[in-house]
Structure 1
Amino acid sequence: MATIKHILTYIHDKIRHDGQNGNPTGGNNSINFAEACKDGSRGLNCRGLATVLNECYLSMGIPSRVITCMPKRYINDCHVINAVYSSTLGKWLWIDPTNNAWVTDEQGNLLSIQEVRARLRSGQPVRVNEEANWNNEKKTTTEEYLYEYMAKNLFYLESWTRYGFNTESDYENLINYIFLQPTGCDSKQRNPRNFSVNDDRYFWQPPHAGSCPQLQK
């Protein structure tokens, strides 16, 4: 876990979050994004940060996914974070580069996105880490971040079925985009390669091959 946290904090401190502007053109990958941001003149939105962090983890052999967290009705806001697999804990952990954040239960146990979602739904306690912050300027609090902001953005989740370098640019070569939705909810996606499931176990299945996670159908 120390390595996962150190990489998260490094990227959070190196590239600031800028949710008001688009990401750089020229390739949606960590090399292009980091190059554009290295002089500090600009930042990345939450998806850009999650993309950079994702590829950093993959380069270290740590399975990681970019997860788009969606509200029931999209108006003008959602949030994108990472799910990073801990082989020690046997689960995908909640990791958010925008806020240098991970989430625990009341005993300090690290939680997955699936577990946070279930706890918010059932009223069980969740906590964001003390180090969590926005751009090293504003502390990220449990109440504001989890109960006010993320609670609405966990209605359904989106992810590619596999990840590697430049996935966000080279998506034409991917198998599918997968949606984890409540029973009875239909995203009505027009792309025939996209598909929806309501099985948490399928969506959160462990990685199957090396550092490039891929869901097995």
Structure 2
Amino acid sequence: MNLKLDSVAGKGNELSKIFNLMHWVHNLIRHDGSSDNPTLKNAIELVKVCREQNRGVNCRMLATVLNECYLALGITSRYITCMPRETNFDDCHVINMVYSKDLSKWIWIDPTFDSYVMDEKGTLLGIKEVRERLIKGQPLVLNADANWNRTALQSKEYYLQTYMAKNLYRLETPVISQYDTETWTRGKEVSYVELLPLDGIVQGPQKRESSNPKTGVKFIHFKTNNPELFWTTPK
């Protein structure tokens, strides 16, 4: 399957390509938070499964598809699991942080809600800035066409000040952003790093290793309180 990402992204500037790809994934695949994840979790297979089975996927899979589309076109991107304070939770959210070379910063991109965030002057913001502004009660602007499955527009009050405010306490991303990260094959090793505040309820261990006997995958989880490390500028 050829996703024809060049034509999807278009011939405009960097930001137009970033937004065109987000809109495309949002419109191509519907969000279904209760769906089971397919076995093969990469952009090509996820798009194929959704087409063939007329199904949706959860926010993690949407962010995975978009992440790989960006990487394929040389745009630096990560998917970020946004979690609440509790270690046992029923709800979290996964979005993308995308590095804009033109702006020299990470920006907030959410394919589930086709959303991005700005300050009162229209400057695009990243996850770090949105989180800080929520804490300080500073102005935030959500794009007017942010929506869920093309049926329900999202308000800033609900999406940012209620839903995401709860889910920006702890943040986690794979150490290496690459294709097919979470397709589990025997012998695979996947590392994640979690950013948590100093008053987070579980600070340690800083490095934890585990293996899934069923899939044969080894997981390494790192924890850090250093935001500069987590939000480091790509080389």
User: Scaled by the length of structure 1, what TM-score is found?
Assistant: 0.90
State the identity as a percent: 47
Conservation of the 8 A alpha-carbon contact between 1:23 and 1:33 = no
Query: RCO (CA 8 Å, sep 6+): is it higher in 1 or 2?
Result: 1
Q: Does 1:191 align with 2:209?
A: yes
CA distance in 2, matches of 1:47, 1:157: 13
In structure 2, distance between residues paired with 1:148 and 1:20: 21
1:184 deviation in Å?
3.9
Shift of 1:75: 2.1
SS of the aligned residue for 1:89 comes to coil
Give distance in 2, aligned partners of 1:114 and 1:170. 30
TM-score normalized by structure 2?
0.83
Q: Which residue matches 1:93?
A: 107
**1:173, distance to aligned residue in structure 2 (A):** 3.6
Residue from 124, 146, 167 that aligns with 2:181:
167
Within 5 A, what are the aligned runs for 1:61-210?
Answer: 61-73=74-86, 74-169=88-183, 172-174=188-190, 176-185=191-200, 186=202, 188=204, 190-191=208-209, 193-208=220-235
Select 1:52's aligned residue among 65, 73, 85.
65
TM-aligned CA deviation for residue 170 of structure 1: 5.5
Secondary structure, in 3 states, of the residue corresponding to 1:154?
A: coil
2:133–2:140 contact (8 Å) kept in structure 1: yes
Aligned AA for 1:181? Answer: L
Q: Tell me, what secondary structure is at the counterpart of 2:209?
A: coil
CA distance in 2, matches of 1:205, 1:100: 25
1:24 to 4, 26, 38: 38
Match of 1:212 in 2: none
| 8 Å contact kept, 1:15–1:40 | no
The CA deviation string for residues 43-70 of structure 1, in whole angstroms up to 9 with x for no partner, is 0100010000000000010000010000
- The 1-side partners of 2:104 and 2:189 are apart by 29
CA RMSD of aligned residues (A): 1.6
Instruction: Indicate conservation of the 8 Å contact 1:67/1:159, yes or no.
Output: yes
CA distance, structure 2, for counterparts of residue 202 and residue 75 of structure 1: 26
In the alignment, does 2:55 pair up with 1:42? yes
8 Å contact 1:94–1:113 — kept in the other structure? yes
State how many pairs are aligned: 206
Amino acid at match of 1:194: H
Whether contact under 8 Å (2:204, 2:223) holds in the other structure is no
Which stretches in structure 2 are left out of the alignment for 5+ residues? 1-14, 211-219
Higher strand share: 2
Unmatched 5+ stretches in structure 1: 209-217
- Matched position secondary structure for 1:3: helix
Per-residue CA deviation, residues 107-142 of structure 1 (Å, 9 max, x unaligned), is 111000000000000000111101211010000110
